[in-house]
Amino acid sequence: MGMADYYEVLKVSSTANEEELRRAYKKLAMRWHPDKHPSGAKGLAEAKFKQICEAYDVLSDAQKRQIYDLYGEDGLKYDVSSPSAAFAATCGGAGGGGKGGSFQKYGNGNGRVVNDDIFDGFFDDIGSDKSGSPLKKGNDESVNRKYSRSATAAKKAEPVENKLVCSLEELYKGSKRKMKIARLVPDSSGKATTVDEVLAIDIRPGWKKGTKITFPEKGNQEPGLLAGDLIFVIDEKPHQTFKRDGNDLLVNLKVSLLEALTGKTVTLTTLDGRNLEIEVSDIVKPGHEVVITGEGMPISKEPKKRGNLRIKFDVKFPSRLSSDQKADLRRVLGRSS
């Protein structure tokens, strides 16, 4: 299938049992059958329907599922002459031939038939034979469907990435953004048209530069392909006071020589608007660092924890001293030997 995982296609876990697979398949098949979509969307519906059929064919067969779980798609050894043949083999030619998507009953050539009542209430609604009459169920009161391991899945268009620039305050407190996007999709004639859409993005506290938010199939679409994904990549706007280092926040402060020797109370306004007072009583040397535990950035995977605030000091020395000032310093500090 190439671009997707069979379990993801059916929206089930890798431990799903037969009944869970069956329910998921029936729900998705009814939703994406091409005859339930207008002509302009039929190509996308066919691609989706084909994916769903293929995924169910593999996962509902114990032997195929075991091979897939162990070796992936490569272990199934596909042999398909054309995408149209694969679709016809997998989904019974649904939506093809210009006949309104007639349905047929047949097995898959190896004695295995997917029938029962998966499509009960489904084909009665949308299925018809070539004369336009509703399809009748067989003697076993079920509609047989053919699936083929030779099916291939439609590929996605290339993903589109956009930068999402956030202030440090947004990444500290969290934020909600609404982004208007314009995406290209083909109309019923295959011509590219622009579709506008508004997406909501929930920026979570602690997200870092490079964090990716993916909107599946919200990118551009090309004829014969599924729509690509739209990806927003977080970028950080420089802050005038703080600099981020992982989960820590860094601040550079300058103090006078007098403050370095006698102490100072530092007041900082935090990213969430609090005034934080830090008492510095030790003698401060150039490069001296004070660490305030838990006053850094939130940790996105552990919301109750935060990094540290690290304050690095630089000592501003006077450009000149008068004779009296030098004498006072010698008296206080003692003459150096």
Q: pLDDT digits over 146-193, tens only?
A: 333 334 456 888 899 999 999 999 999 999 999 898 888 888 777 888
End-to-end CA distance of the chain: 82
Q: Is the domain of 47 the same as that of 100?
A: yes
Per the model's pLDDT, the better-predicted residue between 8 and 69 turns out to be 8
Q: Is the domain of 119 the same as that of 199?
A: no
pLDDT digits over 112-152, tens only?
334 444 444 444 444 444 344 344 334 333 333 333 333 44
Q: Is the domain of 186 the same as that of 257?
A: no
Residue 140 lies in a domain: no
How large is the average pLDDT for residues 1-24? 82
Q: Is the domain of 283 the same as that of 224?
A: no
Residue 149 lies in a domain: no
Average pLDDT, the chain: 76
Q: 53: domain CATH number?
A: 1.10.287.110
Q: Is residue 75 scored above 80 in pLDDT?
A: no
Q: Is the domain of 120 the same as that of 23?
A: yes
Q: What is the 3-state secondary structure (H, E, C) of 103-120?
A: CCCCCCCCCCCECCCCCC
pLDDT recorded at residue 291? 93
The answer to whether 198 and 179 are in contact (CB under 8 A) is: yes
Q: Is residue 293 scored above 80 in pLDDT?
A: yes
Q: Is the domain of 14 the same as that of 119?
A: yes
pLDDT recorded at residue 77? 53
How large is the average pLDDT for residues 223-249? 93
Q: Point out the domain boundary residue: 126, 147, 173.
A: 126
Q: Is the domain of 231 the same as that of 186?
A: yes
Of 74-78, 89-93, 189-193, 213-217, which range is least confident?
Answer: 89-93
How large is the average pLDDT for residues 328-336? 74
What total number of domains does the chain contain? 3
How large is the average pLDDT for residues 299-324? 89
Q: 265: domain CATH number?
A: 2.60.260.20
Residue 152 lies in a domain: no
pLDDT digits over 49-61, tens only?
888 998 898 899 8
- Please give the distance of CA 309 from its chain centroid, rounded to a whole number: 31
Q: Is the domain of 225 the same as that of 265?
A: no
Q: Is the domain of 10 the same as that of 110?
A: yes
Domain that residue 54 falls in: 6-126
Q: Is the domain of 250 the same as that of 322?
A: yes
CA distance 49 to 53: 6
Helix (H, G, I), strand (E, B) or coil at 75: helix
Q: Is the domain of 22 the same as that of 99?
A: yes
Q: Is the domain of 177 the same as that of 111?
A: no
Residue 52, exposed/middle/buried by CB under 10 A (0-12, 13-18, 19+)? buried
